[in-house]
Chain A
Amino acid sequence: MLRDITLGQYYQVNSRLHSLDPRVKLIATFAYIISLFLFKNITVYIIAGLWLFVVIKMSKVPFKFMVKGLKPVMMILLLTVICNMLFTKGTPIFSIWKITITYEGVKMALFMTIRFVMLIVGSTIMTLTTTPNQLTDGLESILTPLNKLKVPVHEVAMMMAIALRFIPILMEETDKIMKAQIARGADFESGNLLKRVKAMLPILIPLFVSAFRRANDLAMAMECRCYRGGEGRTKMKPLIYKLEDKKALACVTLYLIVLVAGGIAGNYLPI
């Protein structure tokens, strides 16, 4: 069962979005996130919403998968909405006891929610259409200029890739250790929180020891295969911008221009 866990939330279908260069998707997501925070008026949200709708349609991923990404942040979202409603000063709409709901508060909360939901859904699309490995490759390639500032970009990307490879292995190992401890009479289910946390120790310690041993072995195996950092390394699957990628980048630029124009125009609207 543990073997089947896939990391990230990659959704396998053939779409134009899936076959795009990961760098394009990273840039587009970044541009989109920034675009949401540039202006604070209704036109911007309409334009961004339309853009999001088109992208969702293009990705061919069922909409419910995007909403899934929202679940874990629901609490934070709710909290921000309540805080915004309660503590924004302005023209009051109505008040009960000491609580006053203002027009500005409602507007703020509404905008916040729209922005938040669009932000999460937008970035979920990226992780749904890109495999973790492609993402790592893309990040490495985009961040390469940072090498000049002595940031070990290649090393960090390599660490991420290795971590992704070892997660299923360590999961399986955790499962094995857990079963071995249960066979020795360990009890992970009963007791209060503190007791349960304490019961996890006999799992964590062997897991850490074995993880270190694996790391040691892996480092040796990598050295044996002539690994010496990113210098002088060639790529088996190099990232090359294709025509499709250039078109996508042009679309993103167009979107940004339209959004900025809409945003400036929107500032003169009465809402």
Chain B
Amino acid sequence: MIKIKNLIHEYIRRDEEENVVDIKKAVDNVNIDVKPGEFVALLGHNGSGKSTLAKHINAILYPTEGTVWVNGMNTSAEENLWQIRQSAGMVFQNPDNQIIGSVVEEDVGFGPENMGIPTEEIWQRVEESLKAVGMWQYRKKSPNKLSGGQKQRVAIAGVVAMHPKCIILDEATAMLDPSGRKEVLRAVRALNQVEKVTIIHITHYMEEVIYADKVFVMDKGSVVMEGAPREIFSRVEELQKLRLDVPQVTQLAYELKKSGLPIKSGILTVEELVEELCKCR
């Protein structure tokens, strides 16, 4: 689905005379392979290059070196641009800044309108995608009157209406409150499981990573850890060195294990920990 090979992206700062002042490698030699239908999480604290990476998948940025293929199309080739943007939809951080329409249904119809879809089919798609994220009853509302989580679900519906193969959530939960984050994640997981849409979820909230099939941890522009959530979270010390917090349960299990209790590593949920603790008796 998405194949990233030796990707390097440099931000070049120039002064008034176009002389290069500063070169910053935001993404440094990254190799990532995402299969269709996967739920992939991309972790990393601020400035680790994860958003820059995401913009490559949508052909907003072009590689300085290396190649990105989306659905078999090279993102550097200009003739593929609209095809790529259609097959890899993007949801951004601030819900207010990505909603274009002044009525919910109009906003969801914006993408299909741009693609030149006939009117009846637009309505069909709008209905499908609003129902998929559970916002159908709000279709006539103004986006300004919705909560953050609802707005973000509208934004997701707007992407879904374009029938993408893959949705990239670029810190889409960062500005939401806990209940809003849950709403959005539930909608995204439903899309992943029911519609088999590939999801790339970029975040710095560890709890949201548990359900992913695969986790990539980024630091200073390169991928430093990769694997299933359970593997990643069993490496608690490494994560702490990268200034990332593991979920509370995992942390507790880790501390208990360190102080001598026979608990397996990489515990993700409360139930698992309870089960392990019961075994200890």
Contacts from A to B (Cβ < 8 Å): 3, 133, 161-162, 164-165, 168-169, 214, 217-218, 220-228, 232-238
Contacts of B82 in A (CB 8 A): 226, 228
Does B144 touch A at the CB level, under 8 Å? Answer: yes
Contacts of A226 in B (CB 8 A): 82, 85-86, 111, 114-115, 162
Please pick, from A3, A222, A237, the residue contacting B100 in the complex, using a CB distance under 8 A. A222
Q: Are B113 and A236 in contact (CB under 8 A)?
A: yes
Binds A, one of B91-99, B192-200, B233-241: B91-99
Bound form: Cα–Cα A226–B113 in Å: 9
Q: Can you show 22 pairs from A to B with CB atoms below 8 A apart?
A: A3-B144, A133-B103, A169-B144, A214-B94, A214-B97, A217-B97, A218-B98, A220-B92, A221-B90, A221-B100, A224-B89, A225-B100, A226-B85, A228-B82, A232-B116, A234-B112, A235-B119, A236-B109, A236-B113, A236-B119, A236-B126, A238-B119
Contacts of B58 in A (CB 8 A): 224
Bound form: Cα–Cα A227–B89 in Å: 13
Bound form: Cα–Cα A161–B60 in Å: 24
Bound form: Cα–Cα A105–B110 in Å: 56
Q: Are A236 and B106 in contact (CB under 8 A)?
A: yes
Does B217 touch A at the CB level, under 8 Å? Answer: no
Instruction: Digitize B52-65: 1 where CB-to-A-CB distance is under 8 Å, 0 elsewhere.
Output: 00000010100000
Within 8 A of A (CB), among B184-215: none
Contacts of B162 in A (CB 8 A): 225-226
Contacts of B122 in A (CB 8 A): 234, 236
Chain A residue at smallest Cβ distance from B96: A169
Please pick, from B86, B89, B99, B119, the residue contacting A234 in the complex, using a CB distance under 8 A. B119
Q: Are A161 and B113 in contact (CB under 8 A)?
A: no
Q: Are A217 and B115 in contact (CB under 8 A)?
A: no
Does B256 touch A at the CB level, under 8 Å? Answer: no
A113 to chain B minimum Cβ distance, whole angstroms, is 38
Q: Which of B96, B103, B116, B159 has the most CB of A within 10 A?
A: B96
Within 8 A of A (CB), among B138-176: 143-145, 158-159, 162
Contacts of B111 in A (CB 8 A): 225-226
Please pick, from A164, A214, A221, A233, the residue contacting B102 in the complex, using a CB distance under 8 A. A164
Does B136 touch A at the CB level, under 8 Å? Answer: no
Chain B residue at smallest Cβ distance from A236: B109
Known contacts A220-B60, A223-B85, A226-B85; A234 and B116 CB within 8 A of each other: yes
Does B117 touch A at the CB level, under 8 Å? Answer: yes
Bound form: Cα–Cα A221–B96 in Å: 11
Bound form: Cα–Cα A223–B60 in Å: 8
A222 to chain B minimum Cβ distance, whole angstroms, is 6
Does B69 touch A at the CB level, under 8 Å? Answer: no
Bound form: Cα–Cα A217–B51 in Å: 13
Contacts of A214 in B (CB 8 A): 94, 96-97
A7 to chain B minimum Cβ distance, whole angstroms, is 9
